[in-house]
Structure formats: structure tokens, C-alpha cells
Structure 1
Amino acid sequence: MEDHIKPLVDAYNDAAEMQAVGMVNDPAIGQVARELQMLQVSTPRPVKREVTVKIAASSMHIDEIYAAQGTALGRFYGPKNVSQSNPARIGSCATGTIVGLGDGAENFKIGDNVIIIPSEYPQAGSWATYQCFDEKWIMHKPDQLSHLEAAAAVMAACVAWGAIGFAKVNAGDNCVVVGASGAIGVMVLQYLKSLNCRVTAVCSGASEEFVRSHGADQVVDYTQDDFGEVFSVGNDPVDAVFDCVGGRDIETSAFRCLKNSGTFVTVVGPRQYIGEEKLSWPAVLKVMSHIGWRMLVTRLATGPKYSFGAKFPRLVVDDAVEQLLEHNIRMPVSAAIPFEIDAIRDAVQKLVTHREKGRIVICFGSD
């Protein structure tokens, strides 16, 4: 064990309790920030095939807030039986250093710096000093990335790379990224440029400099122009449109300008900012049926194809990180905040405005 690791391990072994951000009351919709508290909870210990990670950095995602209030994908993943003795913990994307090993954990060692691989299963609790994970949900952190850079990038990298995989783009393809200044969009933009695609960013005029600095060849200000009309009038058909915002109007615009062989990929679906409110079951079914119907019909008919979602992170994370490292792709960090409750509450309030460019990351100490 390296000398600088021993104090971390000793501190973990001696800690009966730790700090963690969570809620002891069910939040009203839109009021998660108000309910967040800094809690004292029992320090977790690894069971079979688990490791304990001392968290170094954890990025903040809007879907974590939606899950905390039970509106993820419209009405899912809400915490159950929340109370002082059963707090709802938050946080899912993090990096850190291994300070504990459970029986049978063989793929990592004490002192390894790791990335937590986002899970397709509900997983929360990384806004905390320590968290335990099954070995299959962690990977070694590349030395080329700081803890902050890795925590900021990994979720969006997986979503972006998976979405691009659906479109099967080739070098020289004409691609459009809607919502290119957001956390997912800016990663799609950079990955497409790494594949030598020609990329147009759709965003507000105020974000033009930002998206051009991350590789956009052309910018369409959605407050002034409909991108579908821009490309159809200009007789410049598009190979792929990546929708990171959602809404049927975006789908309509995309199908106006796509080639017959083109692909529309949405990571949101027909309802913009799904998760902002709790949907009724009929409303959820309407969203899902639209997605299923469009995927089926466009595959049976001649013309552009409709694709929804992204691939499971565990299936794409290795390739996504390899491409990121090879082409120096990075997630912009709009704010690196301390592990303090007031800073975290303020950051959540900013996050839900959808105005942040890049990620907000909670930092737990020196990188």
C-alpha cells in the first residue's frame, strides 16, 4: 500500500459514520433542493464482491433530481417510505479511490482510482463520503483524466456514444445536434467531430461561441430559424439528427431535412423535458406508444428511421472512454462546488433551469 493511501484507509476503517446528502421527507415536485439535508449516516462496509470507494468527485444530473421527486421518465423511480431512519440518498455518477475490499473482490486493489459506471438500475448515494459498489460497476480511471474530468464526462459520454451508434454515421456525414449547448449535446457534438462528420449545432444565439469552441461547423439559432427549413430550403439534406431536447416539433423538423437513408435519434422522446412534472399513466402510455409506433413505422416504410434512447452504459463505456481519450474530448464544467449543503442546494436550483452549459460537479477534496 502506498504511503499516501494508508491514511485514507485508516480514516475509513475508523469512521463509524459519514456525511451524505439526502432527504427525510418526500419532496413536492420542483422542491428537491429545499428538502436536501446533510445527513450523518452509518459508514458502509463492502459485502461479497464489493469495494468501498472514497468519493472524490460526483457530477450532478437532472435525471437524478427527477428520480428523487418520482418523475423520472414521467412518473418513475421515486423514493419509497422516506423518513429520518430511511433517508432518500442522491447521486449516481462519481469517481474516487478504493479504500475497502469485500470478500471475493479480485479485480481491484486498495488505492486504485476508479470511475463508477452508470447503471441501468436505480442507483443512488454518491453525494457522500463513501459508497460501496459491486466490482462490475466500476472501472479504472485513466491517468489522463482528473477525478473532476472523469466524473463530469462519463454519463454523457455513454449516452452520446450510444446514440451515435444507433445512427451509424460515417466520416463526412452531415449531422445536426439539437440542444448542442447542453451536457449531452456538447458531447455528441465532440464525438461526431472526432469521427470527421460535418456538424451543425442547434441552440440559442447566445451559445454560438460555446458550441463553435467545441467543434460546431455551423450554428442555427432556434429562436430565429427552424433547422428543418434551413436545410430543406438550402437543399442540403442531413444524414443524422440527434435530439437532446425532446418534443414533436423537433421530430417534425428533423424529418423535413433528413435524407431517405437518414436517422433521427432522440434521447428524450416526444415530450420536451420529460420529468418536469408527474404524468398520469395515460400520458406516459401516450409517450411510449408514440415512440414504439414511430420506430416500427419508419422501419417498415421507405425513408428516414426513428430511434429512441441510448445503449446501456456498461455496453459502451469502454469504447466511449477510449474515443474520448484519443481525441481529447472533455465535458465542460460549469461549476466545481464543495461538498457543502448550501452549495449543493444552490446548484440543484441552477440545474433545473436547463441553462447550465456542461456539468456541475461536487468536489470532495484534492484531486
Structure 2
Amino acid sequence: MLKAIMYKKYGSPDVLKLQDFNKPKPTDNQVLVRIHAASVNYGNLVVLKGKPFLSRFAFGLFKPKYTIPGGDIAGQVEAVGKNVQQFQSGDKVFGDLEPFGWGGYAEYVAVPEEALVPMPDNISFEEAAAVPMAAVTALQALRDKGNIQSGQKVLIYGASGGVGTFAVQFAKYFGAEVTGVCSARNIEILRSIGADHIIDYTKEDFTQKTNKYDLILAVNGYRSIFDYKRALNPNGTYVMVGGKGVQMAQAMVLGPLLTLTGNRKMVSFLQRPNQGDLIFLQELLEQGLIKPVLDRRFKLEEVPDAFRYFEEGHAKGKIVITVS
């Protein structure tokens, strides 16, 4: 029998269990993938806990609609349905299963071909699995919500995490002058991925500095929305992509009001998976223009431990799951 991490009720990582499951059979429009690696994202935590409560209208009101969590995957195609045109058996692929019922913490998954793109030859399965959710979130937040422009001064708060490390690299790719905010132990990581300036939040308060920014991306930012506003240039933009409940509420409720009553744009953001952005990421990876930053690796049976580590909030880059 094959193995998968499954759960039947919302809760802590303790509800996740390694169980047997039958090998899925692809339909005419699906691809059967043998999963080699997966990763952990904030969205996985939402699906696990059913919090915030509004998420349950998508994932199951009283119990999980999808019993195998996990969105990001990388693996190898084993079989394809008769209508599949983009892939064939043996292809290496990576992608995001979130819109298609999750299922990434398993040895196999059957998924529509639009969830996947070819995997570059110059990265590992673990590196590929680290990309989809975090990189697409960073890309869309900077490009689509932040309207990033070459020459802008950009601040990334929470720059050493999964989304943050991609955000620093994308901001540099788009020609911005990038300041990353992190703790002292992560300074070398930010230097290695090209940050122009680094602020150690344990020693300096970016809101008290004279520097102002054209674009601020708050990744799990634990500051008040008014702090971010104070650090923006006139006509600057603040984009929130994660944080505690207070920060999320401020961005969703106060953000539109502050935008209407001032000359600074204050917005929240949720990524929207799409194959086009994954293809763009694939091209950047092949050219070596971005590179995933990996923290710890866990085995499939250690997924509950991976979630506990993720909840501590100190990951340096991405947490990955080695499946097979």
C-alpha cells in the first residue's frame, strides 16, 4: 500500500497521521505524478486548522473536505490520461495542487495538467517543490498589487522566510533597491540573495529611520498598519501578504479607508495560482535568476514535526518534505 499524510478533523499537527491509501487512477484529463518532494506554506496551516473560520467555506465547514493536505509538489509523471497534451510518462514536473483538492503529502497524486509545469533540470526536486506557492505569492504581490518599478526603493518585512526570500530576488530582478528586514541570524541569507540593505529588527526600527520607501511588502509583518504608512513615500504602496489576525484585519478594514483618505495605497493580498506564472518562474529558475532558499528537510512521516517547526516562525527560507 502507498502512504499519505491524512486527517479527519481540524486541529493541531497532532491530527495528521501517516496512513495507507490506494494509488489514484488518472482520468482522461489528469496526470498521475509520483511525488518526490513537497513543501510547507501558510496556506497549509490554514487548511490544517480551519482558521480563519471563513476559510472553512472553501475547505469544509465542520470537517476537512480534502483529507490529504499539501499544495506544492515536485515529481515525475508516471501516466497520463488520453486527453492530456502537455506531458508524457517520465517528465519531471512541479506545481501547485491548491485549486485541485490538495493531496501533496502523499506518494502519488492524480491532478489536471494545468496544475503542473516542466521542472528545470538545474534544480532538485526539493528545490522545485519549494517554489510554487511562495514564489507566486511574492511575484504577484510585487508585480500585480505593488506595481513594482525599476529604481524604486522597496522594503521587504519578513525577508528571510519562504515568501520573503523570493520577494527579495524578484524585487532585484525588477530593478529595485531592496531593503530586507530580518533578525541577526538571517543577515547572511539576505546578503546571499542580493539585498542592498539589511535591517536587524532586534536592533533597529525601520519606522524611525529617515529612509522612506516606494513599496513595502509585509510578509507576516507584526507591525501596525500605521507604522508601515509612516515609512512610505508619498504615493507609496503597502502590500500585506501575511500576519496575525490584528494585522490582517487592519489591512482589510483600515487599508481601504487609509487609501481613500490619503495619497498612499494600503492593500492586502492573496495569491491566485495559475500555470502562466509557474511557467514564468520555470524560465527564471532555468536562467539562474532566482533560486529557492531551503531550510530544513523532513520525511513524509515527519510532516507533523514540519508543521510544528513552521509554526515557530523562524524558518530560513522554505521547509521541504522529502517524499520518495
Instruction: Give the TM-score normalised by structure 1.
Output: 0.79
Aligned pair 1:197/2:176, yes or no? Answer: yes
1:268 pairs, out of 197, 217, 242, with: 242
- Report the counterpart of residue 176 of structure 1 in structure 2: 155
* CA gap 1:122/1:131 in 2 versus in 1, 3 angstroms: closer
CA RMSD of aligned residues (A): 2.6
Aligned pair 1:303/2:263, yes or no? Answer: yes
Distance between the aligned counterparts of 2:174 and 2:282, measured in 1? 14
Which amino acid in the other structure matches residue 179 of structure 1? Answer: G
Summarize the alignment of residues 29-44 of structure 1 with structure 2, pairs less than 5 Å apart: 31-32=12-13, 34-44=14-24
Which amino acid in the other structure matches residue 271 of structure 1? Answer: G
Q: Once structures 1 and 2 are overlaid, which stretch shifts more, 215-224 or 263-272?
A: 263-272
* CA gap 1:72/1:42 in 2 versus in 1, 3 angstroms: farther
- Report the counterpart of residue 308 of structure 2 in structure 1: 349
Which amino acid in the other structure matches residue 22 of structure 1? Answer: M
Cα distance, 1:122 vs. partner? 6.4
Which amino acid in the other structure matches residue 202 of structure 1? Answer: V
Distance between the aligned counterparts of 1:149 and 1:264, measured in 2? 29
Contact 1:248–1:270 (CA<8 Å) still a contact in 2? no
TM-superposition CA deviations, 1:172-226 (whole Å, max 9, x none): 2111000011111111011112223211111222322222222222222223332
Distance between the aligned counterparts of 1:272 and 1:147, measured in 2? 36
Contact 2:35–2:323 (CA<8 Å) still a contact in 1? yes
Q: Count residues with an aligned counterpart.
A: 321
Distance between the aligned counterparts of 2:223 and 2:15, measured in 1? 34
Distance between the aligned counterparts of 1:337 and 1:21, measured in 2? 13
- Report the counterpart of residue 317 of structure 1 in structure 2: 278
- Report the counterpart of residue 52 of structure 1 in structure 2: 32
Does the residue aligned with 2:289 lie in a helix, a strand or coil?
coil
* CA gap 1:122/1:137 in 2 versus in 1, 3 angstroms: closer
Aligned pair 1:128/2:88, yes or no? Answer: no
Unaligned ranges ≥5, structure 1: 1-16, 275-286
Aligned pair 1:21/2:5, yes or no? Answer: yes
Cα distance, 1:134 vs. partner? 0.9
Cα distance, 1:69 vs. partner? 1.7
Q: Once structures 1 and 2 are overlaid, which stretch shifts more, 319-328 or 61-70?
A: 319-328
Does the residue aligned with 2:74 lie in a helix, a strand or coil?
strand
Cα distance, 1:291 vs. partner? 1.5
Cα distance, 1:154 vs. partner? 2.0
Contact 1:57–1:364 (CA<8 Å) still a contact in 2? yes
Contact 1:101–1:109 (CA<8 Å) still a contact in 2? yes
Aligned pair 1:68/2:29, yes or no? Answer: no
- Report the counterpart of residue 229 of structure 2 in structure 1: 255
Unaligned ranges ≥5, structure 2: none
Distance between the aligned counterparts of 1:324 and 1:252, measured in 2? 36
